[in-house]
Amino acid sequence: MYPSKFLLKSIKLWNILVRFYAKETKPILSMLPREDMIIIHGGASNFEDSIKKDKIKGVKEAALLGYQVLQDLGDPMEACEKAIRYLESSEVFNCGHGSVLNENGHVEMDASIMVGSDLTAGGVAAVKDILHPISVARKIMEKSPHIILASEGAHVFAKNLGLELAMPGGLVTKRARKRHKDNTIFDQKELGTVGAVCLSKEGRLAAGTSSGGLNRKKEGRVGHAARPGCGCFADDLICAVSTSGHGESIATMCLANLIAKSIEAGLTPMEALVDHFRKMRKFFQNNGGAIVVTKTGDMGIFFTTKRMPYAFIRGGKIVYGGADKGDEKSEDVS
């Protein structure tokens, strides 16, 4: 038996009121000047040189699209969704149209999104033939009493809401088929979960993550990207986080939430990222990366893989890099 809509709305309103008064008890931090900010990552991986330019171009375009939404609407969730939808439409990122294939040659995708104002979240797991899993995750958050829907159930849910579907097998690309033939599971070249974190000048935070998972994974495998608290986390009182890398390790650690709690306890974003990804390598011998923006606009980008393309916008400039060591560049945002 599901809780009534009235009860769900009452609980949500209570959470909003509690969090509003919690903010009011921190006047020094709440009065600090903020600006619209967005950070995008294109996946922690060791991808080949031939797609470096496309990866950097993609995260730049996604950042610009999301930032424009943030400026126009002031809504960090809309901005995250817009940016990630762009990445899901590209063949060079391991999400949406660029997803790797499972053991049977099918695309199965995970995604999640979280809003920092009231801690609402949604996730979709092991879904097929959906053009934009991040949008399905958002609708699960907004239109259902659940947090995560999976596989066929998620597909039916998306279809009933009129979300964009692909033809059966329509997301399988030539590049993915070649990867499936040539490479094995856990190939670091394909640990490419993408994500976004946003901070509005009003102090609202959101985060989102989308992934095609692991090359040659088992049918029905679910990674970290589907799980709020693992793939992404957002809390207006702390920060927004999006993670990438080896999904089983990240999920076991509940890594996005762990990073946020370390920041809440007093670590800087970079200190928290370095600490927890070193622990991930120590305990699981696996790699990854993440992006963070705090409620006051402090930020962190860190990865233990060879590459993680990123782009962020603040102060009228877009900064991008992550394809090679020391390749960071910046440009004015027109």
Q: Which helix (H) or strand (E) holds 204?
A: none
Q: In what order do the strands lie in the sheet with 239-245?
A: 232-234, 239-245, 288-294, 299-303
8 Å CB contact between 219 and 186: no
If phi > 0 it is left, if psi is from -120 to 50 it is alpha, else beta; for residue 13 that is alpha
List 120, 193, 209, 305, catalytic entry: 193
| Pairwise CA distance, residues 76 & 204, whole Å | 7
End-to-end CA distance of the chain: 53
Q: Output the CA–CA distances (angstroms, integers) from residue 98 to 139, 279, 320, in the order listed.
A: 22, 30, 21
**Which among 73, 33, 62 has a CA at the least distance from the CA of 318?**
62
Active site residue 120: no
Tokens (6 digits) for 178: 């070649």
Q: What CA–CA distance (Å, rounded) separates 111 from 45?
A: 18
Q: How many other β-carbons are positioned within 10 Å of the β-carbon of residue 72?
A: 10
Residue 179 three-state SS: helix
Selection from 307, 306, 303, 332 nearest residue 319 by Cα: 332
Residue 105: count other Cβ atoms within 10 Å of its Cβ: 13
Amino acid type, 268:
T
Q: How far is Cα 297 from Cα 310, in angstroms, rounded to an integer?
A: 17
For residues 124 and 140, give the distance between their C-alpha atoms in angstroms, rounded to a whole number.
8
C-beta separation of 110 from 223 below 8 A: yes
- Residues serving a catalytic function are 193
